[in-house]
């Protein structure tokens, strides 16, 4: 196996810890080779109907959940173009939340950016304060900031928005959904989205999302919604067990198979396994002098950004791990030189994480011995 092989390995032996795309089970890869079908055929509607029966259970919604042949970013744009007329409040505490705010600006919307330090979770009370100043059509928030490994309290933020405004809640759950608790209906999320290549543990290329009744009502009132990303069309076609445009059929075969796997594991059990991987990393970090970059109490269960101990160069450590045939993530953006980042989501397990952390110890020992200092 090489460190570029995202399917090699089995539980306990996985060596692929990229923060997305993630390791994909061989059974899922095999499912990609299903036969080509017309997406207007009964066979397709049977496939999509099966997916529609299962996907809402992962999103925890009584409504439909959808797919679009875009990466997750497509649904950021879809939510904005379909539903929003009026100012947008973007809660920004890392690279991805920044980018969603930038998107709103680039689309010509009046976007107010509420900035927080990298490493900090979005505090619900600051959102409440901001909402008192102005009326917003929508609030964008990233649940698990992949750039920093911070998990914000999405339930609390959504509650504050609901209780203090009429704004729609647009939640990026790209590195949280299927890896930790996300409650579309119970938390009152209006558009909640993820990408196939994260905790769903599928290959990249498919966006998965749910849309509330409220968001659909707003969309139906909006005159210009574009075409490819129009949520009204998406929902109308979904009612016929179809997609408005040609779907990414191989990924839908894979999704059908993977949903069986996720539901057999149990959604809550999946959250618990991710929490156990986070705990493994937290305990190991404390023991080996690494510092979790995210503030205490806000560590993501799916991605961890770590600051190595004094004297250990993050970039050299990453290089050493790659040479040992582990796929790792480097610190994101401005954290590249100072942090290492571990993606621990999807179908990876605690035993594999433990082996990976052991590899960090070996790499550091080798680096120190090369430098002539005691390991």
Using CB under 6 A as the criterion, which residues of the chain lie in contact with ligand PLP when the complex forms? 20, 71-73, 96, 142, 146, 172, 174-175, 195
How many angstroms separate the CA atoms of 60 and 208, rounded?
A: 13
Closest approach of ligand PLP to the CB of residue 303, in Å: 8
The token pair at 245 is 């445009």
- Preceding peptide of 246 cis, ω within 30°: no
Report how far residue 134's alpha carbon sits from residue 80's, in angstroms, rounded to the nearest whole number: 18
Q: Which is nearer to ligand PLP, 332 or 356 (CB)?
A: 332
Q: Where is 86: in which H helix or E strand?
A: none
Q: Cβ of residue 311: shortest distance to ligand PLP, in angstroms? A: 30
Q: Least distance from C-beta 251 to ligand PLP, angstroms?
A: 12
Sheet order of strands, 138-142 included: 65-68, 207-211, 191-195, 168-172, 138-142, 88-92, 111-115
Q: Which is nearer to ligand PLP, 142 or 320 (CB)?
A: 142
Whose Cβ is closer to ligand PLP: residue 114's or residue 174's?
Answer: 174
* Max Cα distance, the chain (Å): 69
Q: For the chain, how many residues are written?
A: 375
**Nearest approach, Cβ of residue 71 and ligand PLP (Å):** 3
The least CB distance from residue 329 to ligand PLP, in Å, is 10
Both tokens of 153, joined, read 């309290």
Q: Looking at beta carbons only, is 73 or 242 nearer to ligand PLP?
A: 73
Determine the Cα–Cα distance for residues 273 and 151; give it in Å rounded to an integer.
Answer: 16
94 within 8 A of 150, measured Cβ to Cβ: yes
- Between residues 188 and 329, which has the closer beta carbon with respect to ligand PLP? 329
Closest approach of ligand PLP to the CB of residue 302, in Å: 9
Q: How far is the CB of 170 from ligand PLP (least distance, A)?
A: 12
Give φ, ψ of 91 to 5 degrees: -90, 115
Neighbours of 71 (CB within 10 A): 16
**CA gap 7, 21 in Å, rounded:** 11
Q: How far is the CB of 12 from ligand PLP (least distance, A)?
A: 26
> Least distance (Å) from ligand PLP to the CB of residue 157?
15
Calculate ∠ Cα 215-244-88, nearest 5°.
Answer: 30
Helices (H), 88-123: 95-106
Alpha-carbon distance of 209 to 192, in angstroms, equals 5
Q: Give the CA dihedral 71, 269, 283, 358, nearest 10 degrees.
A: -70
């Amino acid at each position: 196996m090489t460190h570029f092989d995202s399917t090699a390995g089995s539980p306990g032996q996985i060596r692929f810890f990229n923060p997305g795309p993630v390791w994909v089970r061989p059974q899922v890869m095999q499912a990609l080779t299903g036969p080509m079908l017309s997406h207007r055929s009964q066979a397709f509607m049977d496939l999509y109907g099966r997916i529609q029966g299962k996907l809402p259970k992962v999103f925890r919604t009584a409504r439909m959940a959808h797919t679009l042949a875009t990466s997750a970013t497509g649904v950021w744009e879809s939510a904005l173009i379909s539903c929003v007329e009026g100012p947008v409040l973007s809660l920004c505490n890392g690279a991805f939340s920044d980018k969603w705010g930038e998107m709103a600006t680039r689309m010509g919307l009046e976007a107010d950016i509420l900035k927080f330090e990298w490493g900090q979770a979005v505090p619900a009370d600051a959102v409440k304060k901001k909402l008192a100043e102005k009326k917003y059509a929508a609030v964008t928030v990233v649940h698990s900031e992949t750039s920093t490994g911070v998990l914000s309290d999405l339930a609390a933020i959504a509650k504050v928005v609901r209780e203090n405004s009429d704004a729609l809640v647009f939640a990026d759950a790209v590195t949280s959904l299927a890896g930790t608790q996300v409650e579309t209906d119970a938390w009152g999320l209006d558009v909640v989205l993820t990408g196939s290549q994260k905790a769903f543990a599928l290959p990249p290329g498919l966006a998965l999302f749910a849309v509330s009744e409220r968001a659909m009502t707003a969309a139906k009132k909006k005159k210009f919604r574009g075409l490819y990303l129009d949520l009204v069309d998406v929902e109308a076609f979904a009612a016929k067990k179809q997609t408005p445009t040609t779907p990414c059929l191989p990924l839908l075969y894979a999704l059908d198979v993977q949903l069986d796997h996720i539901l057999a594991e149990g959604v809550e059990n999946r959250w618990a396994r991710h929490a156990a991987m986070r705990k493994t990393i937290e305990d190991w970090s404390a023991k080996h002098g690494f510092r979790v970059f995210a503030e205490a109490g806000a560590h993501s269960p799916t991605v961890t950004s770590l600051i190595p101990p004094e004297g250990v160069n993050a970039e050299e450590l990453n290089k050493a791990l790659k040479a040992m045939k582990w796929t790792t993530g480097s610190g994101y953006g401005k954290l590249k030189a100072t942090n290492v980042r571990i993606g621990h989501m999807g179908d990876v397990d605690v035993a594999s994480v433990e082996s990976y952390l052991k590899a960090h110890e070996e790499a550091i020992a080798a680096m120190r011995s090369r430098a002539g200092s005691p390991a």
